[in-house]
Amino acid sequence: MNPSANGWIKKLLNQVSEIVYSQTETDTFYINLKRTGFIYGSNIKVVLDIVKPFELSEEERCKTNLLLTFYYIYNKENPKEQFTESLIRYYKSISDQKQSFFEDLFSDKSPDSLLEKIIHKRIHIDDNFISKSFNYFLINALLFVDVLGYHRFLKDEKNIKNYVENLESALETIVFSVIENKTVKSEYDENLIKLFEGSIRYKNAELLTYTDAISIINEPLEKLYVIDLVCMASWTDKIIDNEEKSFLNQLKKDLSVDNTVIVRSINDINLFYDEHKDEVAFLSSKNLAQSFYDNSSKVVSKLIKRNSKRLIKELSESKEALYLLTQSTQRNLTDEEQKKIQTQLIDIFKSIPSLAIFMLPGGMLLLPLFIKFIPKLLPSAFDDNRIDDKE
């Protein structure tokens, strides 16, 4: 199952056992989803280990977790309408058709294909490939708002867009008040502000008051989610000071939740950051240049691996490209040779849909990486200097 290729939703749903869903309580599913990092905006694993995530990028794990969570909610509510059609109708209901970033997609007549495109666009903070590569924060951190909206939609479709807007505004007020009230803001706090600001879909001129925000949070899953976000916002090097504890105690009273919910939420964020501190972007100290290189390298490597058979075939039919790639492993190519290999590769990309990303604005910046990685990831015939491990 490849969430970056067409047809991934149908294949994933064919792998899912509805028994797993029916036997999993909502609280248990939410806890498992939280452990994947989805609730925290950092997808480390796939919920319930339904698919093995080792070969998936974070973006692909996010797509998988979002789709599986929607499907879980759908099965719990058990509506008559087909899952794909109901989810598309939900996204149409909460979008502004005049300004929606989905509007260019709704002409797609294939439900599966349309839903794949919607999810692809929805998970990104910035859908511009080059901007994403330069950014620490690729993945939308507030996607569970979409899930809560879908949950409401399956019960009552009336005013669903207002519900989602109000819920997001309430979260914005509550979470930002925690961060803004910190006497000293750490790099973690600054990064978290950027992450949440980038993830907010509905930009409001004025924030709700705390009282108005609390009045919107009523459902059990809404309460769990807002508490987890507050604990995430309160966290700084495993310390939640007295002022933040006071806020959490007030939140506990205002939301009428048991103290064990607060304690578990604090423990969960500590445990998650402890286990995955090297994998969570906003805990990293890497600079943006290194972030660009790492993110771009991962994308290029993945694309080459997944299209290796087709690439071998196309390159084998282009003697000049094959020669220049071989030469690139032994010496630096001249400017003229660089232009030639880029022209050859662009022609090849046109024939392989998955590589069309290099044809987008800014994609040409990644060609040097592509030239660098091809000899390493394709058969050793491309690299005369390679020493295989077995040798």
Domain ranges in the chain are 8-283, 288-382
Question: 309 pLDDT exceeds 90?
Answer: no
pLDDT band at 301 (very low <50, low <70, confident <90, very high): confident
Question: What's residue 299's pLDDT?
Answer: 66
Considering 62-66, 233-237, 317-321, the range whose residues carry the highest mean pLDDT is 62-66
Question: 198 pLDDT exceeds 50?
Answer: yes
Question: What's residue 319's pLDDT?
Answer: 79
Q: What is the pTM of this model?
A: 0.72
Question: What's residue 226's pLDDT?
Answer: 96
User: Could you tell me what percent of the chain has a pLDDT over 70?
Assistant: 74
Question: What's residue 256's pLDDT?
Answer: 95
**What is the rounded distance in angstroms from the CA atom of residue 64 to the CA atom of residue 46?**
7
Higher pLDDT, 103 or 200: 200
Question: What's residue 33's pLDDT?
Answer: 95
Instruction: Compute the radius of gyration of the chain from its Cα atoms.
Output: 23
Question: 355 pLDDT exceeds 90?
Answer: no
Question: 89 pLDDT exceeds 70?
Answer: yes
pLDDT band at 179 (very low <50, low <70, confident <90, very high): confident
Q: Please, which residues have CB within 8 angstroms of residue 222's CB and are 6 or more apart in sequence?
A: 148, 167
**What is the rounded distance in angstroms from the CA atom of residue 285 to the CA atom of residue 288?**
9
Question: 296 pLDDT exceeds 90?
Answer: no
Question: What's residue 390's pLDDT?
Answer: 44
Q: Residue 254 CB: number of other CB atoms within 10 A? A: 16
Question: What's residue 176's pLDDT?
Answer: 87
**What is the rounded distance in angstroms from the CA atom of residue 262 to the CA atom of residue 256?**
11
Q: What is the pLDDT of residues 110-166, one digit of tens each?
A: 888 899 989 988 887 654 433 343 344 456 788 999 999 999 999 999 999 999 999
Q: In sequence order, what are the beta bridge partners of 139?
A: 124
Question: What's residue 162's pLDDT?
Answer: 93
Query: Mean pLDDT across the stretch 81-98?
Result: 87
**What is the rounded distance in angstroms from the CA atom of residue 325 to the CA atom of residue 329?**
7
Question: What's residue 19's pLDDT?
Answer: 65
User: Could you tell me what percent of the chain has a pLDDT over 90?
Assistant: 30
Query: Mean pLDDT across the stretch 36-58?
Result: 81
Question: 196 pLDDT exceeds 50?
Answer: yes
Query: Mean pLDDT across the stretch 366-391?
Result: 56
Q: What is the pLDDT of residues 222-258, one digit of tens each?
A: 999 999 999 988 887 666 667 777 888 899 999 999 9
Q: CB–CB of 97/103 below 8 Å?
A: yes
Question: 80 pLDDT exceeds 60?
Answer: yes
**What is the rounded distance in angstroms from the CA atom of residue 153 to the CA atom of residue 323?**
57
pLDDT band at 389 (very low <50, low <70, confident <90, very high): very low
Q: CB–CB of 129/357 below 8 Å?
A: yes
Distances (CA, A) of 147 to 190, 193, 220: 26, 22, 13
Question: 99 pLDDT exceeds 50?
Answer: no
pLDDT band at 289 (very low <50, low <70, confident <90, very high): very low
Q: What is the mean pLDDT of the chain?
A: 78
pLDDT band at 68 (very low <50, low <70, confident <90, very high): very high
Residue with structure tokens 């309408």?
A: 81
pLDDT band at 287 (very low <50, low <70, confident <90, very high): very low
68 class by beta-carbon count within 10 Å (0-12 exposed, 13-18 middle, 19+ buried): buried
Higher pLDDT, 365 or 318: 318
Higher pLDDT, 376 or 261: 261
